[in-house]
Amino acid sequence: MEYSFNGLKVFTKGNKNHKPIIFVHGFPYDHSMWDNQVDTFKGNYYCVTYDIRGLGKSYIGDGQYTMEAFVWDLFSVIDELHIENPVLCGLSMGGYIALRAVEKEPERFAGLVLCDTRPESDNNDGKVARSNAIDKINVEGVESFINDFVPKCFHNKTPERLNDMYEKTFATTKKQNSVGVKGALIAMLSRRDTTNSLKDISIPTLVLVGKKDALTPPDVMQEMAKKIKKSKYFVVPKAGHMAPLENPEFVNEKIEKFLEKNFTNEK
């Protein structure tokens, strides 16, 4: 099913009476990065994806986004679909949203899957890099930024090993709107640090990171996992920063075991 709520494009697959999983995509991608996981889990779970504002088919507006607004959007998806106690699964920027959402309103969620993300906010160098990226988009256009950024997200062998997926992802991403991409950069640059609240996360949490993730490397993710009481941490072979796309077999197996162990199919 496809829905539009508050300018957000929302997609659901599976039986609404099954345990809900909400997948939140990374930057500068869209909901389709979770296609493989949705196809795998739609038989036993109610799978929800959506395009974060400014990206994919969601509303773009003036690009003045904040991480807080991204979290309000997530809450609005949950409320509009009348979802109870979902498992929240976020990759990278989707993980920033998930961590802030759980920090803000922990009682809403039953479990957490954090892929290739981090709790720390941007440091000074990170803020400068975001500013440079915005400048590059202003001067050279969004495609030039995407051409530089997307290859950094993948393991260096992925373009050859999974050429169709890589080219399709690249082509979709190049179509993103420059105002939306810059807005997401500003939202990430100005986001709150969630490190201090990791110790308060009491729901079962799965932490997955690509072995060759250059943006949120395994040591960063392992430190994060250590601070979350009920967490399980796995390194995903043959993957960079986009583990669910680069090694879906491994990622799906870990998610499936995590779901089976912690949740029943019924709500």
What residues line the site for ligand MLT (CB under 6 A)? Answer: 26-27, 92-93, 188, 215, 241
Q: Yes or no: say if 38 and 47 are a contact pair by the CB < 8 Å rule.
A: yes
Q: Min. distance of Cβ 253 from ligand MLT in angstroms?
A: 22
Q: Min. distance of Cβ 18 from ligand MLT in angstroms?
A: 28
Q: Min. distance of Cβ 241 from ligand MLT in angstroms?
A: 6
The Cα–Cα gap between 125 and 93 comes to 18
Q: Min. distance of Cβ 158 from ligand MLT in angstroms?
A: 14
Nearer to ligand MLT, 179 or 215 (CB): 215
Q: Min. distance of Cβ 29 from ligand MLT in angstroms?
A: 7
Q: Which residues 6+ apart lie within 8 Å of 12 measured at CB?
A: 1, 3, 46, 47, 48, 49, 81
Nearer to ligand MLT, 190 or 265 (CB): 190
Q: Min. distance of Cβ 107 from ligand MLT in angstroms?
A: 26
Q: At what angle do helices 93-104 and 178-189 cross, to 10 degrees?
A: 50
Q: Min. distance of Cβ 27 from ligand MLT in angstroms?
A: 3
Nearer to ligand MLT, 1 or 129 (CB): 129
The Cα–Cα gap between 14 and 137 comes to 38
Q: Yes or no: say if 26 and 94 are a contact pair by the CB < 8 Å rule.
A: yes
Nearer to ligand MLT, 18 or 182 (CB): 182
Nearer to ligand MLT, 50 or 263 (CB): 50
DSSP string, 138-207: HHH-HHHHHHHHHHHHS-TTHHHHTHHHHHHHHHHHHTS-HHHHHHHHHHHHTPPP-GGGGGG--S-EEE
SS3 227: helix
Nearer to ligand MLT, 27 or 41 (CB): 27
Q: Yes or no: say if 53 and 8 are a contact pair by the CB < 8 Å rule.
A: yes
- Nearest CA to 63 out of 54, 71, 72 is that of 54
Nearer to ligand MLT, 20 or 94 (CB): 94
The Cα–Cα gap between 206 and 236 comes to 12
DSSP 58: S
